[in-house]
């Protein structure tokens, strides 16, 4: 158990360092950042029993590449709840040459690839408690598309694969500042 706690502390320290580095780079280059927050709905396959359905919240910072945190709570038909807390790193893919020439790496919409990892906790519905008794490290990647509305509001459908879940699909709605 102490090994998992050490790993979580190391991941937290690294994410804090990356966040500070991203802020200092944008401050010295004169570019503003892009903070975003979204509410998520997801369906994830954690095994052969079927899908678990849930929701959560995600926070991120950055243009072109974002770092952030995503927390999701799932409920399955076999009375097991799952809490995922993932550190995320997102890269926007821009294939439009004119956009790249005018905006550079400041993309904040369109297709993206996201890598994520962090702790996952399992518990039974009858004895739901935080933190749950059983935990493991999860890791995966996702592909999605951010559709902007009025330059601030967005919708993001996405699919992902990883471990301990097999596949997942979801949609997020949020706002960027």
Domains of the chain: 2-176 (2.40.160.20)
Tokens, residue 42: 């997801």
DSSP conformation letters of 83-96:
EEEEEEEEEE----
pLDDT-derived band at 114, boundaries 50, 70, 90: very high
Contact (CB, 8 A) for 172 and 66: no
pTM over 0.75: no
pLDDT digits (tens, 9 = 90+) for 129-173: 555 556 788 899 999 999 988 878 999 999 999 988 889 999 999
CB atoms within 10 A of CB 15: 17
């Amino acid at each position: 158990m102490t090994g998992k706690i050490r790993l979580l502390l190391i991941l937290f320290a690294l994410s804090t360092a990356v966040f500070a580095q991203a802020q200092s780079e944008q401050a010295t280059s004169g570019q503003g950042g892009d903070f975003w927050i979204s509410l998520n709905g997801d369906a994830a396959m954690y095994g052969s029993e079927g899908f678990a359905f849930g929701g959560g919240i995600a926070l991120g910072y950055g243009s072109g590449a974002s770092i952030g945190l995503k927390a999701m709570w799932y409920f399955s038909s076999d009375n097991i709840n799952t809490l995922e807390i993932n550190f995320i790193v997102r890269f926007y893919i821009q294939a439009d040459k004119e956009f790249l020439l005018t905006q550079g790496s400041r993309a904040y919409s369109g297709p993206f690839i996201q890598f994520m990892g962090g702790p996952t906790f399992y518990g039974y519905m009858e004895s739901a408690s935080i933190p749950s008794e059983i935990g493991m490290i999860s890791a995966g990647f996702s592909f999605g598309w951010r559709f902007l509305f009025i330059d601030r509001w967005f919708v993001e459908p996405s699919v992902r694969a990883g471990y301990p879940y097999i596949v997942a699909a979801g949609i997020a709605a949020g706002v960027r500042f």
